[in-house]
Structure 1
Amino acid sequence: MSSQLGQPVSLPLVRGSDTGGERADAARNRQLLLAAAKTLIDDQGAAAVTMDAVAREAGVGKGTVFRRFGSRTGLMMALLDHSEHALQHDYLSGPEPLGPGAPPLDRLIAYGRARLALTIAHLDILLEAGSDDPDRLNHPAWRMSTLHVQYLLSELGYPGGLDTVAIAIQAPLEAIAVRHVIEVIGLTAEQIADDWERMVRLLAAGLR
């Protein structure tokens, strides 16, 4: 299983977010704009990410944002891709407890909290991009995450097949589930993370 956890996979990108062959100054511009968008999300939520707001935050003209990403959706998808690559890097080769070296339970809990944080940060674009897509569990990023969860479950000594339990463990971290729990049930992000961790710890305790 661990041999399958190689380099981070790429998310399908929309027009304007491809970095292949871009000049160094264009690459710097792209990183500047993505950092500005992330700052807006961290400070004000995803709804605050407009092309105008990102341009102001980055100190560039709005035309620069449109030329780089094409549209708000293009910008958000590029930001999601950037964040997904960062998360994959962290759980494949980053520091403990998310990365290699920590006990598998600690890594699984760290992964769940990091995945939830990413889901909440990009909730609107994740919902727009495919919560109703029947093939979403076959998305490259989701497949990579599932392989990682399966690997950690095997390290914990989970008996039998891992496919169903890996999907079940990740289900509360999906965008559609997170939206329901926050908007309908009224839990906070920290409460969701704590409930998810409790579930995983109880599962791991049953394996001893």
Structure 2
Amino acid sequence: MKIPKGSISRARCGARDWDFFPQWYAPFMIREGDAYVIKPMRYQLGKPGLLASSDYVGEGKARQFSGTYNARCDNLERYWRKQFGYTDGLMVVDTFKEHVGDQQGVNHRLRFTPRTGEAMFVVCLWAKWVDPDGIEPDMLCFAAVTDDPEPEVAAAGHDRAISNIKPEHIEAWLKPDPANLQALYAIFDDKRHPFYEHKIAA
């Protein structure tokens, strides 16, 4: 688990200590039997059966994360078909960040926060990855489901946003029926629409 710079020398947690990024670990909620359970999971889903190298694209200095920390809503029944409706999970966050380029080509990291101040219930998919080579340890990992952005997020320059569902749909999402995927899509259609204020992230 990566530790924010300078956090070891401080006696108190700061706001940045709660930030996490792809390949960092975060508290994650799933359903086990009749209980809700929170487990630490890595934010980037390694699909079972794939090699550890599938986490990245490119070589050398061009090497980047593969993008499997997000699961597009319009791709759930294709690339994510073995997770969608089977291993659905949830993360609870107060804010989210996106990289956005301005008209001068400068890249900014924007922090979006609901104007209401309410916590966001973000739908996700998860898996237990096992290294086919038998070298790396088993790993629990997840991806956030993304959908079309709210108008204010689009106006800020980003074309995707996390799916923030209503509290009354949490149980149905965490206890899915793979034979009734339309019920899960209905949860997306009825998601919350707070106004997301934004500012440049520190």
Under a length normalisation based on structure 2, what TM-score does the superposition of the two structures give? 0.28
Q: Which has the higher strand share?
A: 2
Under a length normalisation based on structure 1, what TM-score does the superposition of the two structures give? 0.28
Q: Which has the higher helix share?
A: 1
